[in-house]
Structure 1
Amino acid sequence: MAYATVQDMIERFTEAELRALAPAPAGATVSYAAATVERALDDASAELDSYLAVKFPVPIAGGLPLLIKAACDLAREALDRQGREPIRDAGKRARQWAKDVAACRATLGSGPDGDAEAVPPIEGGVQVLAPDSVFDGEALEAFLR
């Protein structure tokens, strides 16, 4: 499931940009190759899922604005054959945001209804098995004097 649509790409970057990024084949009745853009959006969503799956069940439902933006930025980066720096930078920011969400340093933002946490975290947690601490307060007290 793609987090963004071709229409999201048009609204964010204009149809002229899509014509430049994904030109339609000669003789086509449309001005851009929608299937190419959809494939890039699917790939971008899969990449975002690879980061977000650490914290959330994926795919994430809802149409969250930050998730749509990240998917559009990653798809645009994938389609840009010129390697323009601002587009590459936007892709890097989208990846970093996804990593930050997975590491609990950022959130997915507000849901469509304005709720602060639109997606519930995965139930359960991490269990850590480790030996007892060797350096507790008593053992270190001699070194602190």
Structure 2
Amino acid sequence: MPDGAGWPPVLYAGPADMAARFGLQELIALAPLPDSEALPANGPPVFADRWPESGTENQREEGEGSGGPLPPYDAARVNDALERASREADSYLAVRLPVPLDTAGGIPQPLGAAVCDMARYHLCAGFGMQDSEAVERRYREALAWLREVARGAAAIVVPAPPEAPLPQAPEPEVIFRPGRHERFF
């Protein structure tokens, strides 16, 4: 699937993957909306799978932490970072694989994790935030893994798309014709 004009870009990870990997608080801190007071920056991390029972005491009292709307973050900035990281990954993968990868069967977990780490770094570095040593280390590790894939020292297994069942041919009709075989008249 070409990544040209008229085609949506193929992302190897999404905002939900980022929230599951780093926690919603970090996602909000990396890409806050203007005038957002969604979550305090100094609380414990809130991961996507624990959001309904998480949140601050005030949010739980107001119903926000119990199945209410997720805290806001700048989805455009997050998607921009994910797209940038996906295209950066493509630049390494293109040495061995046709890119963008066909993701109909799913995205390989190591690739999704690497793209999340790269997007996190881009969010920190691209918007004037000071990136920590851990964020930069994970970014460098993701690039090192992609270099290994490009070199052929590591493999990336792209899941095959689920195949539709093949249509079954009708059973051939058996026609008995006299005179064709000694047992038949």
Q: TM-score, normalised by structure 2?
A: 0.57
Structure 1, unmatched stretches of 5+, are: 114-145
Letter in 2 for 1:46: R
Question: Do structure 1's residue 3 and structure 2's residue 12 form an aligned pair?
Answer: yes
Task: Name the counterpart of 2:101.
Answer: 60
**Residue aligned with 2:80, SS:** helix
Does the CA contact (< 8 Å) of 1:76 and 1:87 recur in 2?
A: yes
Letter in 2 for 1:73: D
Question: Do structure 1's residue 14 and structure 2's residue 58 form an aligned pair?
Answer: no
Work out which of the residue numbers 32, 35, 49 in structure 2 matches 1:26.
35
**Residue aligned with 1:60, SS:** coil
Letter in 1 for 2:111: L
| 1:77 CA drift (Å) | 0.5
Determine the C-alpha separation between the residues in 2 that align with 1:46 and 1:38. Answer: 12
Letter in 1 for 2:108: L
Percent identity for Structure 1 against Structure 2 = 40
| 1:31 CA drift (Å) | 2.1
| 1:51 CA drift (Å) | 0.6
| 1:50 CA drift (Å) | 0.5
Does the CA contact (< 8 Å) of 2:33 and 2:74 recur in 1?
A: yes
Q: Which has the higher helix share?
A: 1
**Residue aligned with 1:74, SS:** helix
Equivalences for 1:99-110 in 2 at 5 Å? 99-109=147-157
Structure 2, unmatched stretches of 5+, are: 1-9, 39-70, 162-185
Name the CA shift for 1:45/1:110 in 2 (closer, same or farther; >3 Å): closer
Q: Highest CA radius of gyration, 1 or 2?
A: 2
The number of equivalent residue pairs is 113
Task: Name the counterpart of 1:141.
Answer: none
| 1:111 CA drift (Å) | 3.1
Name the CA shift for 1:60/1:110 in 2 (closer, same or farther; >3 Å): closer
Name the CA shift for 1:34/1:100 in 2 (closer, same or farther; >3 Å): same
